[in-house]
Structure 1
């Protein structure tokens, strides 16, 4: 099995997604677009495409951010979906999946930065890939926006601050607005890149400051993510 990561910024690292792939001995490739890496021209080289987050949004132009080409990424996602690859998007990546499938991203009702609970919907509780999540799970967040919904998509989980935390677009395609990949190492990268922003966000209901962010444990949500990914790849390998 081969996993390809699209990484938009050094501080939006793959974290637990990368750990999961390494632990299972999967082949791993990267498009670190902030370093000028090209996107794959073909989907033949990977089984799972993971599109990471970033400070951009799908409307960000190449004039505003020269290393981020939303249209090229949406084209890659669309080709991966039509090629029956597994696709997971995180934060910005989830919004790009929705856009690639014809659904415009939207602003989330609340800014969320920190570790807060998500609640599975009835559809989420019925979905076997999320059977280990329980009804409520504390997960990481670092966002302002949320993915769009296609007519065939299903909301798997919500939070008090955002009604679209996990979205199933198909049995092989999922958008995670939440950041279940966070580890203390990744959190420290995000804090270092966001110190000025965080200092201005006192008083927000769902924004933790650096001391609280560093005090969180991210291990349980990482394990739950690993279980989801294992089940996703089982679905991917199943006969059509």
Structure 2
């Protein structure tokens, strides 16, 4: 199986997502947009698309950020989702995912930077991919916006500062406003890139100081992310086997093409 990462900035690192892929021996591809690497020209061969975060928003223009093309990313996301690929959006990636599904992003009620608990909703507790999360889980945050909701989207988890932390847009399509990929190295990159931002936001109740951010342990959260990704790819493999059974005369790509997850 192949995982393809869309990366907007060097300091918005793939962290535990890529560590999971390497640990599972998966093939890995990258579109490092900040280094002017292109988006994939074809989705053939991609099994899981992971779109990472960034300081941009889905409304950021090419004039404002020449290496960021929201429309092109949304088209890629929609193509992957429509072809039955697994798709995960993280922070900005989650907002782009919502846009690709037809839902406008918005501002979160609170800025969140640090480690704070999320609480699973009834839909989240009923979803087997999150059974190992428990009712609440401490996770990483670094955002001021949040993804939009389609008519059939399910909110899996929320926090006190943001009502849309994890969203299911389809059986294989999930948006994570929270950052379960954080590791000490990823957090250090974000702190270095934040400049005076953390100091200017010090009065916000869900913004933690750099020394507090550096003191957090992220291992348990990373293990929970691994568990989710394992279950997601099990569901993807099951869907592919089902499609192969339905269309035995065609190859797996032909069977997946034209099948919507919605």
Q: TM-score range by the shorter chain?
A: over 0.9
Task: Give the match for residue 14 of structure 1.
Answer: 14
Distance (Å, rounded) in 2 between the aligned partners of 1:137 and 1:193? 27
Distance (Å, rounded) in 1 between the aligned partners of 2:57 and 2:231? 29
TM-aligned CA deviation for residue 45 of structure 1? 2.3
Task: Give the match for residue 236 of structure 1.
Answer: 236
Partner-residue secondary structure (3-state), 2:160? coil
Distance (Å, rounded) in 2 between the aligned partners of 1:159 and 1:95? 17
Task: State which drifts further: 201-210 or 129-138.
Answer: 201-210
Instruction: Give 1:205-220 correspondences, 5 Å limit.
Output: 205-220=205-220
Task: Give the match for residue 110 of structure 2.
Answer: 110
After TM superposition, the score normalised by the length of structure 1 is: 0.99
Task: Give the match for residue 28 of structure 1.
Answer: 28
1:139 paired to 2:144: no
TM-aligned CA deviation for residue 107 of structure 1? 0.3
Distance (Å, rounded) in 2 between the aligned partners of 1:41 and 1:166? 29
Distance (Å, rounded) in 2 between the aligned partners of 1:203 and 1:226? 34
Distance (Å, rounded) in 2 between the aligned partners of 1:98 and 1:28? 24
Question: Gapped runs of 5+ residues in structure 2?
Answer: 243-262
Give the RMSD, CA atoms, in angstroms.
0.5
Distance (Å, rounded) in 1 between the aligned partners of 2:77 and 2:195? 32
TM-aligned CA deviation for residue 199 of structure 1? 1.1
1:189 paired to 2:194: no
After TM superposition, the score normalised by the length of structure 2 is: 0.91
TM-aligned CA deviation for residue 202 of structure 1? 1.1
Q: Deviations over 1:87-138 (max 9, x none)?
A: 0000000000000011000000000000000000001001000000000000
Task: Give the match for residue 59 of structure 1.
Answer: 59
Q: Deviations over 1:131-181 (max 9, x none)?
A: 000000000000000000001110000000000000000010000000000
Partner-residue secondary structure (3-state), 1:125? helix
Task: Give the match for residue 253 of structure 2.
Answer: none
Task: Give the match for residue 148 of structure 1.
Answer: 148
TM-aligned CA deviation for residue 41 of structure 1? 1.2
Question: Gapped runs of 5+ residues in structure 1?
Answer: none
Distance (Å, rounded) in 2 between the aligned partners of 1:44 and 1:232? 19
Name which one, 1 or 2, has greater alpha-carbon Rg: 2
Structure 1 segments of 4+ aligned residues over 2 angstroms from their partners: none
Distance (Å, rounded) in 1 between the aligned partners of 2:119 and 2:81? 27
Distance (Å, rounded) in 2 between the aligned partners of 1:204 and 1:197? 12
Count matched residues. 240
Task: State which drifts further: 193-202 or 91-100.
Answer: 193-202
Q: Deviations over 1:57-111 (max 9, x none)?
A: 0000000000000000000000001111000000000000000011000000000
Task: Give the match for residue 123 of structure 1.
Answer: 123
TM-aligned CA deviation for residue 194 of structure 1? 0.3
Whichever structure has more helix as a proportion of its residues is: 2
TM-aligned CA deviation for residue 204 of structure 1? 0.9
